[in-house]
């Protein structure tokens, strides 16, 4: 059984040192302190598996120390009270006050060794549970990522986009902030896919998505795959003037990718068209009607020759 980290709290120096040596001889790591205040200070730093706590101390009683530890730290760690009293009523009261066991001083060697074996089993189970909890949390994070992430581009998927847009509409409506939606379409993607093949088509979308993710990575920004070769960017607290700058910045970022497109009638490299709407929500808008509005201005950008952006007149 693995060694425990034991926090020993006793105001009597000689008794503290004697018990600390016994614990060390049994193979445990010991932090021995002489007051309740020291115990509270050392506890988070030492991270014990077991607390041996004198119930009668002048500065702060063991009962008060136990209460503080239970209040300040969510994770349960067993506390064994130490006392010179062996009356049943005293033992019962100590357990009621937050202790998990009770040892009478001077502590019998055989009793001490037996109690520690029991505590080692508990510590072992605690460590196993902590490991399982961490693994479960990691698994939940991976699952959440899979649920909210588009498999090909690794951007947020449509489900997560809808949820986030609804939240932002509500939040910006309450606070009277401007919200921006940019819908992006890869120009002439079908002829690109037909000519270069689906693998290159996927790679093209991944490169564009990577640029979106790095360009819009600040707090309050979300880049998502809307569907097919269409993407959506949400930008919090962003008015039309700033949104125009963001659209221009994105246009230049896509240009720098220099993805060849010999079948485009717009350019010899991949370009994108963008529709943008910036407005102060009322809080009553839905993602669906906002997509409809921004999709219409995206269509205008395509009609006007592509490789450009158009801003909605939205009031």
Do 111 and 33 share a structural domain?
Answer: yes
Do 306 and 162 share a structural domain?
Answer: yes
Is residue 45 in some structural domain?
yes
3-state SS string for 46-75: HCCCEEEEECCCCCCCHHHHHHHHHHHCCC
Catalytic residue among 31, 38, 229, 285: 229
The string of pLDDT tens digits covering residues 141-176 is 766 666 899 999 999 999 999 999 999 999 999 999
Is residue 264 in some structural domain?
yes
Q: Are strands 221-227 and 5-9 parallel, antiparallel or unpaired?
A: unpaired
Do 179 and 59 share a structural domain?
Answer: no
Burial, 261: exposed, middle or buried (Cβ in 10 Å; 0-12, 13-18, 19+)? buried
Do 69 and 179 share a structural domain?
Answer: no
The pLDDT value given to residue 281: 95
Do 91 and 188 share a structural domain?
Answer: no
Expressed in angstroms, the distance from the first to the final Cα of the chain is: 70
Is residue 151 in some structural domain?
no
The pLDDT value given to residue 262: 96
Is residue 55 in some structural domain?
yes
What residues contact 285, with CB distance under 8 A and at least 6 apart?
Answer: 169, 173
Do 190 and 270 share a structural domain?
Answer: yes
Separation of alpha carbons 288 and 250, rounded Å: 24
**Mind listing the pLDDT tens digit of every residue in the chain (315 residues)?**
678 999 999 999 999 999 999 999 999 999 999 999 999 999 999 999 999 999 989 889 998 999 999 899 988 899 999 988 877 777 787 788 778 888 888 888 888 888 888 888 888 888 888 887 777 777 667 666 668 999 999 999 999 999 999 999 999 999 999 999 999 999 999 999 999 999 999 999 999 999 999 999 999 999 999 999 999 999 999 999 999 999 999 999 999 999 999 999 999 999 999 999 999 999 889 999 999 999 999 999 999 999 999 998 765
The pLDDT value given to residue 315: 57
229 is catalytic: yes
Number of structural domains the chain divides into: 2
3-state SS string for the chain: CCCCEEEEECCCHHHHHHHHHHHHHCCCEEEEECCHHHHHHHHHHHCCCEEEEECCCCCCCHHHHHHHHHHHCCCCCCEEEEECCCCHHHHHHHHHCCCCEEEECCCCHHHHHHHHHHHHHHHHHHHHHHHHHHHHHHHHHHHHHHHHECCCCCCECHHHHHHHHHHHHHHHHHHCCCEEEEEEEECCHHHHHHHHCHHHHHHHHHHHHHHHHHHCCCCCEEEEEEECCEEEEEEECCCHHHHHHHHHHHHHHHHHHCCECCCCCCCCECCEEEEEEEECCCCCCCHHHHHHHHHHHHHHHHHCCCCCEEECCCC
Do 124 and 52 share a structural domain?
Answer: yes
Structural domain for 202, as ranges: 158-313
Do 163 and 132 share a structural domain?
Answer: no
Separation of alpha carbons 120 and 3, rounded Å: 7
Q: Which of 107, 137, 167 is the last residue of a domain?
A: 137
Do 207 and 102 share a structural domain?
Answer: no
C-beta of residue 153 within 8 angstroms of C-beta of residue 205: yes
């Amino acid at each position: 059984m693995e060694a425990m980290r034991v926090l020993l709290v006793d105001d009597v120096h000689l008794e503290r040192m004697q018990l600390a040596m016994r614990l060390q001889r049994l193979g445990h790591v010991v932090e021995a302190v002489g007051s309740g205040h020291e115990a509270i200070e050392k506890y988070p730093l030492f991270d014990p598996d077991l607390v041996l706590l004198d119930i009668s101390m002048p500065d702060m009683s063991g009962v008060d120390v136990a209460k503080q530890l239970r209040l300040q730290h969510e994770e349960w760690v067993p506390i064994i009270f130490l006392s010179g009293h062996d009356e049943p009523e005293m033992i019962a009261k100590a357990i009621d006050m937050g202790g998990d066991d009770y040892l009478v001083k001077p502590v019998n060697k055989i009793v001490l060794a037996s109690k520690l074996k029991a505590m080692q089993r508990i510590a072992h189970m605690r460590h196993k549970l902590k490991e399982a909890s961490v693994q479960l949390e990691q698994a939940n994070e991976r699952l959440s990522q899979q649920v909210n992430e588009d498999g090909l581009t690794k951007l947020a998927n449509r489900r997560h986009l809808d949820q986030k847009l609804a939240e932002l509409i509500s939040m910006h409506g309450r606070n009277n902030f401007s919200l921006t939606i940019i819908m992006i379409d890869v120009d002439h993607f079908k002829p690109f896919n037909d000519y270069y093949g689906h693998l290159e088509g996927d790679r093209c979308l991944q490169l564009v998505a990577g640029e979106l993710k790095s360009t819009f990575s600040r707090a309050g920004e979300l880049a998502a795959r809307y569907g097919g070769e269409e993407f959506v960017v949400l930008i919090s607290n962003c008015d039309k003037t700033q949104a125009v700058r963001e659209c221009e910045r994105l246009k230049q970022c896509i240009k720098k990718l220099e993805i060849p497109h010999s079948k485009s009638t717009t350019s010899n490299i991949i370009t994108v068209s963008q529709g943008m709407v910036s407005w102060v929500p009322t809080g009553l808008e839905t993602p669906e009607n906002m997509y409809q509005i921004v999709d219409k201005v995206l269509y205008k950008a395509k009609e006007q020759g592509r490789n450009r952006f158009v801003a909605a007149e939205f009031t």
